[in-house]
Amino acid sequence: MTDITRRDFAKLSGLAAVAAAAGSATVAGGPKSARASITGVTGRPAELPKNKGPRVVVVGGGWSGLTIAKYLKKEAPEVDVVLIERREIFISHPLSNLWLAGLADLELLAHSFLDAAKNNGYILHTATVIDVDRQKRRIYTEKGYVQYDYLVLAPGIEYDYASIGVRDPADIQALETRYPAGFVSGQEYVSLKRKIDEFSGGVFAITIPSGIFRCSVTPYERACMIASVFKRRKIKARILVIDPRYNPAVAGEGFLAAFKDLYGDIIEYMNTTRVTSVDVGRKRIITEMDEISFDDASIYPRIRGSRLIENLGLVDPKSTQKEAAIDPFTYRAVADERVYVTGDNRPMPFSKSANTARTEGIYVARSIAARLKGKTVPWQTPVTLCYSVVNAEPREGISVKTTYRFDKASNQWAYLSSKALTKRSPALADKAFEWARTQYRDMF
């Protein structure tokens, strides 16, 4: 599958049309004052089954939200679990790079929220969150409000274009439309794949954000996969990987070796290069030292927490990425003990990877279930596990696995363990598919 087929394009275009443009595509994120104008349908209860026990509502059907909904129902079957998600189709970020390169089929990435709800015993409410009244414990959607006893917010991320000096709404819109980062919505993948398949040569720029981003290995893997397409098509192209770091964020040795050994005439890794602005009209990326001209690009700014978290007054004022202020061991919001914040919006310096979100989601579900029974559970480290395919022909991969601990002496988070397998192997590439299929089976 070297090019996107007409059938796949039509299929994914349809899926992307219902996918959200930001975060997990769940939240409109209106201001608190919007509550005063809620009338009509939004001011009535949503048409949901009457709860027979405590109700926990999970906002956001990403890797964290889906995991929490499933495992909360598993740990406490008596609890009424409602997942609110406005997308109708789940499109996986993990393995999307392999789809871009023609190594994975669309069917592997796309899944049904209906299947997840049916197979795991919780209620799916397909709707957009308009506002949350934390005093009344009420979530407003365009299909009515949902009452809750406890609320889990897992609404995903948004892009912070101001972090790369782009503040004009017209320029932000142009960047989102012409040079999508490809880390939030399915429609970005469609656009990015078309770019790759239609690229005829020249400079293709990929920017990597500062801070902690989703996911730490993915932009480097994406560079390899795009390079593999250009190499296969014998296109005279140069991929500029523009990174503010000295080395790739994780598994640096493996990615740098792949850049040099496999794509030495295609990929140029520009380390310690910070983007300060983008001239969209002239197709130029401005850095602290230079201006870089490009023919096409995927521009990935720093990420930030969902505006819903900000609008609800739950942001940690010390967070440069507008993440939530929570107890890092319970995930409860500092401002509201009935609200939990997970996934991309939690502030701990863990990787924002799918496996991290999944493993911490299992812990949060167990913690909430225990709380409902008047018990507690000990904190468990999330596990960051990432397999990255860096070569398409033959298919080869590398991997990294990390766990975490809190160091009381320094009052800082640190690694409990970290192991990177940076020697390319077919077995590690196969593991990427095996890992993904295992996760999809469990969530859906």
Residue-by-residue DSSP string for 302-362: EEEE-HHHHHTT-B-TT-TT--B-B-TTT-EETTEEEEEE-GGG--SSS---HHHHHHHHH
Interval 187-218: pLDDT, tens:
999 999 999 999 999 999 999 999 999 989 99
pLDDT at 38: 59
Confidence of residue 27 (pLDDT cuts 50, 70, 90): low
CA distance linking residue 42 with residue 55, whole number of Å: 19
> What share of the chain has pLDDT > 70, as a percent?
91
CATH class given for the domain over 23-158+304-372: alpha beta
- Confidence at residue 8, expressed as pLDDT on a 0 to 100 scale: 52
* 254 φ, ψ (degrees, to nearest 5): -70, -45
Query: In this structure, which amino acid lies at residue 373?
Result: K
pTM for this predicted structure: 0.91
Please report, to the nearest 10 degrees, the dihedral formed by the alpha carbons of residues 220, 237, 243, 354 taken in order.
-20
Residue 1 has pLDDT above 90, yes or no: no
| Cβ atoms of residues 314 and 341 within 8 Å | yes
Return the pLDDT at 215: 87
Q: Does residue 243 carry a pLDDT above 70?
A: yes
| Domain residue ranges in the chain | 23-158+304-372
Residue with the bigger pLDDT between 415 and 36: it is: 415
Give me the pLDDT at residue 236, please.
96
Residues 92-123: tens digit of each pLDDT: 999 999 999 999 999 999 999 999 999 999 99
Q: What is the pLDDT of residues 124-140, one digit of tens each?
A: 999 999 999 999 999 99
What is the torsional sign of CA 187, 193, 195, 197?
Answer: negative
Residue 427 host element (H or E): helix 426-443
- Work out the average pLDDT over 41-70: 94
pLDDT score of 31: 47
